[in-house]
Structures are given as structure tokens and as C-alpha cells.
Amino acid sequence: MSYKESFLSYLQFEKRYSVHTILSYDCDLTQFFDFMSKNEVAEVKDVDFKSVRKWIVFLMNEGNSSRTVNRKLSSLKSFFKFLLRESVVDTNPMDRVVGPRQGKKLPGFVAEHAMQLLREVEFGEGFEGVRDRLVVEMFYQTGMRLSELMNLKITSFDRGTSLVKVLGKRNKERIIPVSKGLEKLLDEYLEERNRTFEERSDFLFVTKKGVPVYEKLLYRIVTKHLSKITTLAKRSPHVLRHTFATHLLNNGAELNAVKELLGHSNLSATQIYTHTTFERLNKVYKQAHPRA
């Protein structure tokens, strides 16, 4: 087993990272060692500060954003930390490495009045139309990540308490309230689904062939219908997650409560949404206050 394979096994079985996260680590490390081999660095023990800096320059010249480069460096730091712990290397070449600076980009979100228009949007008739409406509303009303919604089971919902159980990053479980309106859409979808398919998947959302939905399909559904109500350049499931958080804060929700609903492990990840909230409050103040 190679050092990389040992590290990926460690992430899977000890750290219990998701398949998606492990694939990202695998891709980053493969790219790094391909670059190293082309630059005549054959052994992992031969990697030093200078060779890592060369890789950073290469990545930036290839047009990667600062954020992407820093994510790749984070993968590399974890890998060498693992090798140091396993006594494969004597020193960590990442100790002095500093990634490129990046400005915090504020998340895009759909305005509240635009989301109200969604109720008037035509989603089409039959199974796919009912499913697509539920997909978009569920992203907006729960703030789920794409992977979380994709992996929902019918049994994830507790109809007695109007709650849905979500399995988030690193298999962390959280509970999200479900509105009466969303429950109604869910009932309509399940009724249509039961009429359409004899064999029933455990997964909540399925394709027109009855198999579980996949990432590209969910992107396509969200992009298609958000295009009808907003001119935002980016119209992805994650934009609906940003919209969920921003609308909650704009309407007085506590930051800690939003953190729990989003499944963030620390408050700093949630605080980025307060920037858009403060911008809105500042605008209202300047427009409405006689001394502003």
C-alpha cells in the first residue's frame, strides 16, 4: 500500500470523512505528485519547502483561484502531518508554507420578493414537475447542502413532529423543522411517485427512471427554475442555502440558531452571512433616518 493509499484509508476509517471529501484529497495529492515527478522529485522524503512553492506558482499560473490553491495546500498539510506522525518523514515541508491571500467573497442570495415569485412559477405537470418544485422549495426552506438533500430517505422525515433528520459533513446528524407548506408538497410528491413507480427506492428523490437523483440533475433543476425569478449569475443549490441563511438573519433569527440549522461546526463559518445583513441594515438606515 502506498503512502497516499494509507493516508486515504486513515481519512476513511479513522477520521470517517465522506467519499466526496476523500476523492478531493485523492485528486489534490495525485496532482501534486504528478507535478513532483515531472520536476524530478521521486520520493516523498525529497519533497521540501522549495518544491511546494514551485507547485503553488504552477497552480496560480494555471489560473486557479487563491481559494482553490489554499484548499489543495490544506490537503497537502494534512498528508504530511500524517506522514510525520507515522515517522515516514523527519520534518514537515509544509511548516513554512503560506498560501496566497484571498478576500472573503460574500455569498450570493436571491431576494425575498424574488423567492415569493417562485410560487407562481410553472414547474410542469406529472411526476417531474411535482418533484422539481419540492427540490427547489426544500433547498430554500431547509438550507440543506446538495449532498444532504441527495441522500435523504423517505424515513428521514418524522411526520408527527414535522422534523427532518439530515446527515451532514463527517456523518454529523442534525434536525431541521419542516413547514406545513413543505409537508404538503412532500405529500403531493410521494403520492405522484407511488402512482408512477411500482418498485420504490428508499431514497426520497428519484429520476424519471426511479433511481436516486444525482448531482448534475439537481443542479439542472435548480438552475432552470431560479433563472425564471433572478438574474444572479450563479443559480446553484448552494445559492439557495445562502438565501435560506440570509433571509433568516434578515428576519431576526439568532446567529447561533442559524449555525445549528446549517450544520456549521463553528460560528465563524456562519458569520459571513451577517455581512449581507449589515449591508441591508445600513442601506435601510441611510434611506430612512433623517440624520443619515
Q: Which of 3, 17, 25, 273 is catalytic?
A: 273
Check whether residue 156 and residue 228 sit in a common domain.
yes
User: In 10 A of CB 28, how many CB atoms?
Assistant: 19
Check whether residue 69 and residue 7 sit in a common domain.
yes
* pLDDT over 70 at 6, yes or no: yes
By the 8 A CB rule, do 80 and 94 touch? Answer: yes
Check whether residue 7 and residue 130 sit in a common domain.
no
- For position 170, which CATH number holds? 1.10.443.10
Active site (annotated) includes residue 241: yes
Domain range enclosing 121: 112-288
Q: Which of 4, 71, 165, 169 is catalytic?
A: 169
Residue 100 covered by a domain: no
Active site (annotated) includes residue 113: no
In angstroms, rounded to a whole number, what is the distance separating the alpha carbons of residues 221 and 250? 27
What integer is the mean pLDDT of 98-124?
82
Residue 19 covered by a domain: yes
Active site (annotated) includes residue 208: no
Check whether residue 62 and residue 116 sit in a common domain.
no
Q: What is the pLDDT of residue 280?
A: 62
Check whether residue 133 and residue 277 sit in a common domain.
yes
* pLDDT over 70 at 277, yes or no: no
Check whether residue 217 and residue 79 sit in a common domain.
no
Active site (annotated) includes residue 145: yes
Q: Which of 131, 145, 242, 247 is catalytic?
A: 145
Active site (annotated) includes residue 216: no
Check whether residue 32 and residue 173 sit in a common domain.
no
Check whether residue 70 and residue 138 sit in a common domain.
no
Q: What is the pLDDT of residue 54?
A: 87
Q: What is the mean pLDDT of the chain?
A: 90
Count of structural domains, the chain: 2
What integer is the mean pLDDT of 47-56?
89
Check whether residue 146 and residue 232 sit in a common domain.
yes
Residue 123 covered by a domain: yes
Nearest by Cα to 243 from 40, 232, 254: 232
Max avg pLDDT among 57-71, 194-208, 272-286: 194-208
Q: What is the pLDDT of residue 237?
A: 96
Residue bearing cell 422525515: 157
Residue bearing cell 478576500: 103
Check whether residue 239 and residue 198 sit in a common domain.
yes
Check whether residue 142 and residue 178 sit in a common domain.
yes
Burial of 113 from C-beta contacts in 10 A (0-12 / 13-18 / 19+): exposed
- For position 45, which CATH number holds? 1.10.150.130
Active site (annotated) includes residue 289: no
* pLDDT over 60 at 252, yes or no: yes
Check whether residue 168 and residue 255 sit in a common domain.
yes
In angstroms, rounded to a whole number, what is the distance separating the alpha carbons of residues 18 and 167? 11
Q: Which of 53, 71, 81, 264 is catalytic?
A: 264
Q: Which of 131, 235, 241, 247 is catalytic?
A: 241
Between 27-41, 218-232, 244-258, 271-285, the lowest mean confidence (pLDDT) is in 271-285
Max avg pLDDT among 165-169, 266-270, 278-282: 165-169
Q: What is the pLDDT of residue 250?
A: 83
Q: What is the pLDDT of residue 281?
A: 58
Bigger pLDDT: 191 vs 57: 191
By the 8 A CB rule, do 228 and 136 touch? Answer: no
* pLDDT over 70 at 34, yes or no: yes
Q: What is the pLDDT of residue 290?
A: 66
